[in-house]
């Protein structure tokens, strides 16, 4: 099992630790509900250094990214990021990811593109192999390949999320964090460390930033200490993967391996907005045809009417007891005080307000399809 540069910090803080994607990760510190509330109302710090980062460089980096991802990365200007996914050959999803444009591709001006892809920890090797396979596809002999660097092991990633996160961090840097627009980023000095990438992204829906920096010298120690020195007096808390999951689920954000995987298409997962048919990419024709037909099933949010908590893998049924789908994520929502979930249902059952039934152990409990983010 691998450690992140902060594993010692988590253990010293008394976190409940568990293996996740091969890393020894904090699940919770003070309790999921408490950490969840800190992020929704104030600020919380997540160590997500287990996630993978690939740097793609050169004049064909953008071509490669366009070929393997579903969103249109050519729209990105330097300093902008986008959510995207890697479709597989059957129209399923290899992984979901963020694409960061560090330098735009502009060969006439003598500049080649530099991009960073941020992928799920559990998929680092799979994604690397997948993307590598398309580096210099057939028919492009003679062209230079994109340079690819897997910098996952030496990249620290902290997510500082919550309505007060940027206010707490602003004194640590000259970067104008308070006015950083959603899905944009700046590289600069942070807590005395150079080359820190501060990105107005995150997977909580609570606002805040994610910061990427190299794990060298005592960078990790210095930045962690500076963040908590600034934040602890203001009620900022360390937050584990448990609350990360409840926070993302309240927003209806997909978790790879739960809500999306190799067998789910981006269209049925509600990710049509990152599937751009204006460019060529893996399984474009399959996905375009599926879009025309309309998906057979859809990922929906639902809330429980009868008391019970939905969990990944529970069956979804109609009133007559016929199976119409499956739960992909579920929890008691800490913010809303009710049980919520997501799951795939046959499209005819996907309308907001539709009555569905969740098989919780040996009982069928009533639920209804609801809009996401949950409210």
Partner 1 sequence: MNFPESLRYTKDHEWISLDGNIATIGITDFAQGELGDIVYVEVETIGKALEAGAVFGTVEAVKTVSDLFLPASGTINELNPALANAPELVNTDPYGEGWMVKMTVDNPADVEALLDATAYAAVAG
Question: Which spans of this chain sit near partner 1 (rule: CB under 8 A)?
Answer: 16, 27-28, 31-34, 242, 245-246, 307-309, 311, 331-332, 334, 361
Rounded least distance, CB 28 to partner 1, Å:
6
127: tokens are: 């994604």
Alpha-carbon gap, residue 98 to 330, rounded angstroms:
24
Rounded least distance, CB 258 to partner 1, Å:
12
Nearest-10 Cα torsion for 178, 182, 188, 194: 110
| Nearer CB in complex with partner 1: 96/245 | 245
| Nearer CB in complex with partner 1: 313/351 | 313
Rounded least distance, CB 338 to partner 1, Å:
10
Ordered alpha helix ranges (H), the chain? 7-12, 32-41, 61-68, 124-133, 165-169, 219-231, 241-251, 284-293
Rounded least distance, CB 322 to partner 1, Å:
25
- Please say whether the beta carbons of 188 and 177 come within 8 A: no
Alpha-carbon gap, residue 240 to 353, rounded angstroms:
33
| Nearer CB in complex with partner 1: 47/250 | 250
| Nearer CB in complex with partner 1: 208/330 | 330
Alpha-carbon gap, residue 65 to 55, rounded angstroms:
11
Rounded least distance, CB 242 to partner 1, Å:
5
| Nearer CB in complex with partner 1: 245/318 | 245
Alpha-carbon gap, residue 41 to 43, rounded angstroms:
7
Residue that has been written with the tokens 């444009």 in this structure: 101
- Determine how β-strand 23-28 pairs with β-strand 16-20: antiparallel
| Nearer CB in complex with partner 1: 187/312 | 312
Rounded least distance, CB 364 to partner 1, Å:
14
| Nearer CB in complex with partner 1: 25/27 | 27
Alpha-carbon gap, residue 278 to 143, rounded angstroms:
24
103: tokens are: 């330098």
Three-state secondary-structure class, residue 104:
coil
Helices (H) and strands (E) in the chain, counts: 8, 19
| Nearer CB in complex with partner 1: 181/307 | 307
Rounded least distance, CB 368 to partner 1, Å:
19
246: tokens are: 């409840």
- Please say whether the beta carbons of 86 and 68 come within 8 A: yes
Residue that has been written with the tokens 């996740």 in this structure: 20
Rounded least distance, CB 245 to partner 1, Å:
7
The phi and psi torsions of 193 (rounded to 5 degrees) equal -105, 130
| Nearer CB in complex with partner 1: 77/361 | 361
Rounded least distance, CB 327 to partner 1, Å:
12
The phi and psi torsions of 219 (rounded to 5 degrees) equal -50, -50
| Nearer CB in complex with partner 1: 55/365 | 365
CA–CA distance from 26 to each of 6, 34, 48, 279, 375 (Å)? 10, 15, 10, 40, 28
Rounded least distance, CB 31 to partner 1, Å:
5
């Amino acid at each position: 099992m691998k450690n992140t540069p902060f594993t010692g910090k988590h253990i010293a803080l008394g976190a409940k630790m568990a293996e996740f994607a091969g890393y020894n990760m904090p699940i919770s510190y003070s309790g999921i509900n408490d950490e969840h509330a800190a992020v929704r109302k104030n600020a919380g710090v997540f160590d997500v250094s287990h996630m993978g980062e690939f740097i793609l460089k050169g004049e064909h980096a953008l071509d490669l990214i366009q070929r393997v991802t579903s969103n249109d990365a050519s729209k990105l200007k330097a300093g902008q990021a986008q959510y995207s996914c890697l479709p597989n050959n059957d129209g399923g999803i290899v992984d979901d990811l963020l694409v960061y444009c560090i330098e735009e591709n502009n060969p006439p001006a003598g500049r080649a593109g530099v991009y960073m892809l941020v992928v799920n920890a559990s998929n680092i090797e799979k994604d690397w192999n997948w993307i590598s396979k398309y580096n210099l596809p057939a028919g492009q002999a003679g062209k230079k390949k994109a340079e690819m660097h897997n910098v996952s092991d030496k990249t620290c990633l902290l997510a500082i999320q919550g309505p007060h996160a940027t206010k707490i961090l602003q004194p640590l840097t000259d970067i104008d964090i308070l006015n950083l627009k959603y899905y944009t980023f700046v590289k600069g000095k942070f807590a005395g460390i150079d080359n820190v990438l501060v990105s107005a992204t995150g997977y909580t829906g609570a606002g805040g930033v994610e910061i990427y920096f190299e794990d060298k010298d005592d960078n990790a120690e210095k930045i962690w200490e500076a963040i908590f020195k600034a934040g602890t007096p203001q009620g900022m808390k360390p937050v584990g993967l448990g609350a990360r999951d409840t926070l993302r689920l309240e927003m209806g954000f997909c978790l790879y391996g739960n809500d999306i995987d190799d067998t789910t298409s981006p269209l049925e997962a509600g990710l049509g907005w990152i599937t751009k048919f204006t460019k060529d990419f893996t399984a474009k024709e399959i996905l375009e045809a599926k879009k025309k037909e309309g998906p057979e099933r859809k990922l929906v949010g639902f809330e429980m009417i009868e008391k019970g908590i939905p969990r990944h893998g529970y069956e979804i049924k109609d009133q007559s007891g016929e199976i119409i789908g499956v739960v992909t994520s579920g929890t008691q929502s800490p913010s809303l005080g009710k049980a919520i979930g997501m799951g795939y249902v046959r499209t005819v059952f996907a309308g907001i307000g539709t009555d569905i039934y969740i098989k919780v152990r040996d009982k069928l409990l009533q639920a209804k399809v609801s809009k996401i983010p949950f409210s």
